[in-house]
Structure 1
């Protein structure tokens, strides 16, 4: 029989056995946050920028100068010529204007950008594990409903067999009962495959050992969204990049100022018999940025354009996230209304309708097709109620990602 074949195939599916204590959503979030590579990566990048900020504020390393002066070309002797000297000195360069401070401030702004990316990565991890958890909970809830309905349709088939044997039912009714039971078995296989996929998604965040743990009977309730869209880490990233652009513009402006170098030298003659004294010298070197049209002016214009582009990127991010927020809030509100309607009206009505149809069929006042239709309506109503409840929570997950929550 087709039914036996379907059930046999179902038994061959490699479904993992549920084991261990119940896995709550809060525990799944904790497991996902632990050692998340994306968050750790941005933390390391932020720390690298902070170290670079300190380094950028320092003076360049001094240069050591060692020199042999005025060696005679015909002898290359360091002792027979009164003009030959040995000199040692040090040179220190002082960068233009406030360029060191501004370079450090720019690196500090980029450190804030990396830290904000880390905060966004943490939010994204929580959103992903919540979505995976809710998806798995949805599939397991559907499996439970289908398994309960399978026993009901099995009872329906047995009732129809007895009615057919007694002459009170037609062969078509028996075939319809078999068909609905086979279709239900096929639907079970499809949901089992979806459950396996959802479990794999959750295992990505909590590990395979915890993904096979049982889940609570009721779907979890999430916190109410709290906060402001402007406080989102992605916008903090763009704002930090804008700040870095401001520092970059001021840093480029320092190119119009001179750069200074100071050099101190100490020299001694190689021929000591002449009584010549040692020599001490100092030198100051100054860059003269006199021709700025093709370099400094161009660099400044380029930095201004980069800063404006960063500001436009912030504006674009705000608009896109506001669109996402408006759409998500609208869907969330409507789904909340639908969830209440299913809980308060549709589910009780579908159950009462199915029970009344069964009672009428047993008493001969309702035909077989009406009875089957009532059972299918109840099944679809229960399935849709699970979908609506899950979808409402998924929209709330997105709202919590966008607005944040009180923790």
Structure 2
């Protein structure tokens, strides 16, 4: 067992290294790299929630078109004033067959307002689609980053294991060829046991990383087609979204940042709900208006008992309801609608404050993570690399203990893994900042807009606090 780790069987070392690295190598050989943007596209194309919101938007637009029609007219056919003694149609002069039609007219502009409200609901569903697209991009991107980080860490660890095995082979040769020393003496055996222990630790670390990768990859594969389930993932240093290009110039300006966030679907949803509440106010006001109706009827009379012709009757009339008992009731309905609009406005303001705080927090984290990454690249990792080279050189000249070589190697591995973890966190923060940024949409073209948009309706009905 000892010779397997100390370089006496190079073929066995090569086989072990190939077995440890086989999952990563096989994935790279099977398929080309799967980019982050491709993963997002697959997820957006297959998301059932987006399809549901599109269907709901179409339903609201159909409801909006249907709301503009008047109610159906009513037709009545009556036999009037039949005598009960003979049931004869010719006996009495007032006996007739009457055909009537009546039509009720909508109150005020209630039909137009109902159509506009349904149009606002369609716009809200549209914003739900945009929000879902952003949330899905963020969710899938974080899964991709987790899987890519685990795969990169696995490859780094496998490379360090190979380097450790090479150092173990050098150690074995040195002690076998050293003159005057017994290969089984205490110091030699201690060094060989130490390298075997560190090798086992790295193997366990590889297994842990493989477990992390498989867990992240299985969650990611839920959004991927079958032919991409084994594609390799490459984590580059440059984030897919560079926040500095979008946010750096406006982060210190509250008004500019608020104007940018007002384009976000969350706030667009809030604006839409405010406009919908304004439409409810106007609908409540329509209850104060009279509802008119028109009626027309034609009465056919038969000949009298002597055979003389009788004239037929035509009737025309109008009706109107008298709002005598709904004055206070409608006032309370209007007041309730006003309060609901004010509540939506307050929620909108609170949401804007939350988004401002979230963006500033993520921006601060992003700046610090960039500084830490630069420190790793420019200072810490170069020093660790120089230290490792110096220790290995000194050991080659018999000036250092082999434990120092192993310690330097492990410091380099830990430094590389920590730098990889920091890179992943930087990418994650950039992805979270992208969630708040404007300028992208994967949604299909919007359906034709109704005559009154959310913004127009909000302007028409007023947007401030109103006392009714």
TM-score for the superposition, normalised by structure 2: 0.79
Q: CA deviation at 1:80?
A: 4.5
Q: Give yes or no for contact 2:149–2:235 (8 Å, CA) kept in 1.
A: no
Which of 270, 279, 292 is 1:260 aligned to? Answer: 292
Q: Report what 2:263 is aligned to.
A: 231
**Counterpart residue number, 2:44:** 33
Matching residue of 2:448: none
Deviations 1:326-347 (A, max 9, x none): 1111111111111222222222
CA contact under 8 A between 2:152 and 2:234: conserved in structure 1?
no
Q: Deviation digits for residues 120-179 of structure 1, max 9, x if unmatched?
A: 111222222222222221111101101001112223333444538275834333222221
Whole-Å Cα distance in 1 between the matches of residues 237 and 139 of structure 2?
A: 16
- Residue 425 of structure 2 is matched in structure 1 by 391
| Structure 1 residue 236: Cα displacement | 0.4
TM-aligned CA distance change 1:80 to 1:294, over 3 Å? same
Deviation string for 1:189-225 (max 9, x for gaps)? 1111111122122212222421311234635532334
Q: CA deviation at 1:11?
A: 6.2
Match of 1:207 in 2: 225
Shift of 1:287: 1.3
Give the 5 Å matches for 1:7-406. 17-18=26-27, 19-78=30-89, 80-162=91-173, 163=175, 165=183, 167=185, 169-216=187-234, 218-219=236-237, 221-225=239-243, 226=246, 228-271=260-303, 273-292=307-326, 295-405=329-439
Q: Deviations over 1:205-249 (max 9, x none)?
A: 222421311234635532334381111011101110100000110
Distance 1:12 1:73, change over 3 A: farther
With over 3 angstroms needed to count, the CA separation of the structure-2 counterparts of 1:210 and 1:219, relative to structure 1, is farther
Partner of 2:445: none
Residue 185 of structure 1 aligns to a residue in which SS? helix
Q: Which runs of 5+ in 1 are unaligned?
A: none
Partners in 2 of 1:331 and 1:406 — Cα distance? 23
Alpha-carbon distance, 1:404 to partner: 2.6
- Aligned partner of residue 279 in structure 2, secondary structure: helix
Tell me if structure 1 keeps the 8 A contact 2:83–2:91: no
CA distance in 2, matches of 1:182, 1:213: 29
Task: Figure out how many residues of one structure are paired with residues of the other and give that number.
Answer: 404
1:355 Cα offset (Å): 1.8
Would you say the 8 A contact 2:21–2:155 is kept in 1?
A: no
Gaps of at least 5 residues in structure 2 are: 6-14, 176-181, 248-259, 442-468
TM-score (norm 1): 0.91
8 A Cα contact 1:150 1:181, kept in partner? yes
Q: Is the 8 A contact 1:335 1:388 kept in 2?
A: yes
- Counterparts of 2:314 and 2:219, CA distance in 1: 75
SS in 1 for 2:242: coil
| Match of residue 453 from structure 2 | none
Distance change >3 Å, CA 406–CA 53, structure 1 → 2: closer
Q: How much does 1:15 deviate?
A: 5.6
CA RMSD of aligned residues (A): 2.7
